[in-house]
Amino acid sequence: MRNFTPLLTVAFAVGAASPAWAAKGPFFSLGNTDFVVLLAFLLFIAVLVYFKVPGLLGGMLDKRADGIKSELEEARALREEAQTLLASYERKQREVQDQADRIVEAAKEEARTAAELAQADLASSLERRIAAAEEQIANAQGAAVKEVRDQSVAVAVAVARDVIAKQMTAAQGNSLIDGAIAEVDAKLH
């Protein structure tokens, strides 16, 4: 009886609102088209009820509602999974960004250290070059002084030779040579 209640309510509402009440003549006669239409409608409803069409429609609607409910639950589960994945990717993105920041900071620190080391190497290289240049200058100065002395000695010896040669006689020269040979012989033995 539960399935008939909505149908009877609809039939009564249609019958109550029908223009048949406004028709002239007896309503309950086959000559009244409104009465025939009402009978055909009630017969149609009865056939639908007999073949359990409302139950089939209800079952189909229930299946459809269950399908929609399962799709909604699946969509909700997919949404939660997507949110979980999004949170995971955001966390990974933050971790990668932190790692990239650490790498950049380490690279900057290494560059700073390399620059300081290069500056220290440059300073020590400059000090070595300055020391080498000063040593070369000192050596050149020593060589120049030695050369000047050697030239001075050579000039002095040449001048002395000339002076001695002009003032000395052959006998005095031979005695000087003999004295120098004796002195060298004494120093060697």
Identify whether 20 is part of a domain.
yes
Does residue 38 belong to any structural domain of this protein? yes
**CA dist list (Å): 71 to 79, 82, 101:** 12, 16, 44
3-class DSSP assignment, residue 84: helix
Is 62 a domain residue? yes
Tokens of 58: 């209800």
The verdict on residue 149 lying in a domain is no
pLDDT score at 22:
52
Structure confidence at residue 21 (pLDDT): 53
In whole angstroms, what is the distance from residue 58 CA to residue 188 CA?
A: 143
Query: What is the predicted pLDDT for the residue at 184?
Result: 81
The amino acid that residue 71 corresponds to is E
Taken in order 48, 52, 54, 59, the sign of the CA dihedral is: negative
User: CB neighbours (10 Å) of residue 181?
Assistant: 10
pLDDT of 94: 96
In a domain, 17, yes or no: yes
For residue 168, give both structure tokens.
Answer: 């000395």
| Cβ partners under 8 Å of residue 36, min gap 6 | 30
Range(s) of the domain holding residue 16: 4-89
The answer to whether residue 45 is domain-embedded is yes
Q: What is the pLDDT of residue 1?
A: 42
- Count up the domains in the chain and report the number: 1
pLDDT digit string (tens) for the chain, length 189 residues: 445 565 566 666 556 555 545 556 678 787 888 889 999 999 999 999 999 988 999 999 999 999 999 999 999 999 999 999 999 999 999 999 999 999 999 999 999 999 999 999 999 999 999 999 999 998 988 888 888 888 887 887 777 777 777 777 777 778 878 888 888 878 877
Show Cβ contacts of residue 80 under 8 Å, excluding neighbours closer than 6 positions.
Answer: none
Query: Residue written as tokens 């966390």?
Result: 91
pLDDT for res 90: 96
Cβ atoms of 53 and 59 closer than 8 Å? no
The answer to whether residue 54 is domain-embedded is: yes
pLDDT of residue 119: 92
Q: Which of 47, 48, 49, 22 is nearest to 33 (CA)?
A: 22
- Tell me if 84 is assigned to some domain: yes
Q: What's the N-to-C CA distance of the chain in angstroms? A: 158
| C-beta atoms surrounding 153 within 10 Å | 11
